Amino acid sequence: APDFTLPSTKGSISLGELLKTKSVLLAFYTEDHTLECQGELTLLKEEYSIFEYLEAEVLGIGVDTLESHRALLKRLGSLPYPLVSVKGLTLCATYGVLDKTGKRYRRAVYIINRWGNIALIIPEFEPSNQDQFMYILQALGLNVLDESL
């Protein structure tokens, strides 16, 4: 997976450094002020203990400024994971998550395993889609059997 080091609401974040100890869920989202994106970030907040159990870190990645991300954190009542601020669309192009307007990110999820390999791509993430969430958990190593749900 392409490495990056970027500013976040919890200081500078390096994908390569995180991957030394855990898998990483990259949650790309359109912008801080859309309800759908806030829903995506809230879902990941509500399920964060599962990600911790699976030894994974979540990174919310958007093109908004750190100031905008911090305002969003206040509205959402904080998040247990950082929001990464990206200037420009280079990372977006690298990961192929540019939306149809060509000006911002799509809601997309990447799972990067500890070896730096992309284990899962959900190019159009829908927070209400339970199947997509199960794919995320499986890519992180949770053995999910349909019969047990």
Nearest alpha-carbon partner for 84 in 1, 14, 2: 14
The SS3 assignment for 6 reads strand
The catalytic residue among 37, 58, 92, 97 is: 37
Burial (0-12, 13-18, 19+ Cβ within 10 Å), 78 = exposed
Residue in this structure with the two tokens 């969430």, named with its chain if needed = 133
Whether 37 is catalytic = yes
Torsion from C-alpha of 131, 136, 140, 142, nearest 10 degrees: -20
Give the residue numbers annotated as catalytic, written as ranges: 37
